[in-house]
């Protein structure tokens, strides 16, 4: 998806999403469904465990689209923390910390 201006010049809507995380066979799965445009959605599991990594980053979603991130390398992560600020972020999140 391309934008014809720098992110700081675009009046993005405030980010809104639904997210869930679950333990899988080889790590964790974090699924995010956009309720609004999500510009460069990113998951930072290393903020919970330095050994953790994610398979994808900077995903832009349109309303209704879903992305699933696969987190590996961590033994025991807080499931709820994987779906909240400061682990789950995007360009157009609220200053106070993103969607609730």
Per-10-residue mean pLDDT, the chain, length 100: 63 87 94 95 97 96 97 93 96 60
pLDDT at 1: 63
- pLDDT of the residue at 96: 40
The closest alpha carbon to 30, from 70, 63, 62, belongs to 70
d(CA 70, CA 59): 13
Cα separation of 31 and 51, whole Å? Answer: 21
Euclidean distance between CA atoms 35 and 54, whole angstroms: 23
Burial-class residue 28 by CB neighbours within 10 Å (0-12, 13-18, 19+): buried
């Amino acid at each position: 998806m391309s934008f014809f201006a720098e992110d700081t010049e675009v009046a993005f809507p405030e980010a809104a999403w639904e997210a869930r995380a679950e333990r899988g066979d080889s790590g964790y799965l974090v699924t995010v469904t956009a309720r609004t445009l999500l510009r460069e959605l990113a998951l930072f599991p290393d903020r919970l465990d330095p050994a953790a990594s994610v398979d994808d980053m900077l995903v832009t979603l349109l309303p209704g689209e879903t992305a699933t991130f696969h987190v590996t390398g961590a033994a025991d992560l807080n499931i709820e923390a994987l779906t909240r600020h400061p682990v789950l972020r995007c360009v157009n999140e609220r200053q106070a910390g993103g969607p609730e």
